Amino acid sequence: MPPFLSGVIEGFYGPPWSQAERRQVFDRMRDGGLNTYVYAPKDDLKHRALWRETYSAAEEEGLAELVRACRERNLNFIYALSPGLDLRYGDATEAPVLQNRFAQMLALGVTHFALLFDDIPDRFEGGSLAAAQCAVTNALFGWLRERSARAQLAFCPTAYCGRMVAAGLGGAGYLETVGRELAPAIDVFWTGPEIISRELTVAHVRDLAVVLRRKPLVWDNLHANDYDGRRFFCGPYAGRPAELRDEVRGLLVNPNCEAPLNFVPLRTLAGFVQAPATARWDARAAYLAALRDWWPGFTTVGAPLAWEDFVVFCDCYYLPHKEGDEAETLFQDVRRALQARPADAVRRRVARLREFCARLAELRDRALFHALSRRAWELREELDLIERFLASPGPGVASDFHLPGTYRGGLVPRLQRLLTPDIHGTFSPS
């Protein structure tokens, strides 16, 4: 395994990628100089909910195909298992079950593994949850090393970000126990101050390394969108200084659920990893360069789309904590225009972006269009309503296309309107 891991964790909730989508991701990783893929799809039943069941012959062949595809591209394949939902710590009959699963993967040529204890109940009546998890992990690591001297293992703690540790998840002293009792050769995953961390600083990871007694392996959810089905994130790898690379075991991104939408996240991660140590990481410049490389994939059956509109559209789906520059400018201009009509220039810009969203239906790459379609449709509907309002001389506007109970309809939007967050993230009745 290389000294610095960089690449992708397929670790999201939602439909796992198809084999073809994984090969596409592998190609992009290889082309960008990334080196590691972690197989950990939460909704693969045998990864998590049915972790005790061994793979069928057909499932084994599918995994063998992935191992071969990674090997052909010089990518490390890490197989991850999530037994924490119902693992019986201290029960001697559980160890052979874990071993049987990993033995299947050893037979396929896999030597790099991960044991994940994230997103599970932290109630444990038998003493220290951290100590129990470390005992299971250390024993499995020893068993692996007896069968392959090259075997490597990573561990995801139950408290895997700063906020969880501060809240006492896993019990008092959870992370300190992990640092003390987990075998030193086992890597530890960490997402940063938050599950989705806006920034990841050198000071933060240095402090963490003291507790863990090793450099953390970053599981970066910056571009993950499984928690928000209305958005995807095609902004740059940002909020991480170049110096961070010297302080961590590696940087692995858990990206958008939709594989075709990860072009820019992977391209900019690769650029970040490979940037000269003396260079300042310019995330926006890297983003625009990556968009240029993605742009040829947006060919249509009709007239070419406009590059300027493409940038605005992508800026609308930038990063979890902010919009891109062009989208933020458009938002602020629309907000002002709604209060001080007429605003013909703003209305024309809104109309252009609305038309761009509509014309995405003409993309030749149908997988890319299908990944974008629901988000583009929603944005188009909002822009259409704003355009109608800006064009109306009256105080309000009616639309046959945005009927009450259908447009923005359903129980979820009604529930969302009941509680309103303030700038600090505290919710109160609306």
- 91-118 confidence digits (pLDDT tens): 999 999 999 999 999 999 999 999 999 9
> In this structure, which amino acid lies at residue 102?
F
pLDDT score for 230: 94
Confidence of residue 279 (pLDDT cuts 50, 70, 90): confident
282 carries an active-site annotation: no
**Per-position b or e across 55-87, b if 16+ CB within 10 A of its CB:** beeeeeeebbebbebbeebebbbbbbbbbbeeb
Nearest to 66 by CA among 29, 99, 13, 91: 29
- Both tokens of residue 345? 């220039």
pLDDT score for 194: 98
Question: Which domains does the chain show, CATH number per domain?
Answer: 5-284 (3.20.20.80), 307-391 (no CATH)
pLDDT score for 88: 95
Confidence of residue 408 (pLDDT cuts 50, 70, 90): confident
DSSP letter assigned to residue 21: H
Which of 2-6, 96-100, 200-204, 361-365 has the least mean pLDDT?
2-6
Which of 202-206, 230-234, 339-343 has the least mean pLDDT?
339-343
CA 95 to centroid of chain Cα atoms: 31
Residue 405 above 90 pLDDT?
Answer: no
DSSP letter assigned to residue 16: P
Confidence of residue 407 (pLDDT cuts 50, 70, 90): confident
Q: What's the whole-model pTM score?
A: 0.95
Share of the chain above pLDDT 70, in %: 100
> In this structure, which amino acid lies at residue 398?
A
Mean pLDDT in residue range 388-406: 84
Residues 328 and 388: beta-carbon distance below 8 Å:
no
Measured CA to CA, the distance from residue 189 to residue 333 in angstroms comes to 42
Q: Alpha carbon of 232 to those of 272, 329, 330, 390: distances in Å?
A: 21, 20, 19, 28
Confidence of residue 413 (pLDDT cuts 50, 70, 90): confident
Residues 18 and 262: beta-carbon distance below 8 Å:
no
pLDDT score for 16: 97
Spatial neighbors of 174 by CB under 8 A, at least 6 apart, are 129, 130, 157, 158, 159, 165, 168
- Both tokens of residue 337? 């225009």
pLDDT score for 274: 95
Q: Could you identify the residue written with the tokens 């038309």?
A: 355
Average per-residue pLDDT in the chain? 95
Nearest to 321 by CA among 213, 228, 245: 228
Residue 394 above 90 pLDDT?
Answer: no
Spatial neighbors of 337 by CB under 8 A, at least 6 apart, are 343, 346, 347, 390
Q: 240-249, pLDDT tens digit by residue?
A: 999 999 999 9
Kindly report the number of other CB atoms within 10 A of residue 154's CB atom: 23
Active-site annotation holder among 43, 44, 119, 333: 119
> In this structure, which amino acid lies at residue 210?
V
pLDDT score for 396: 81
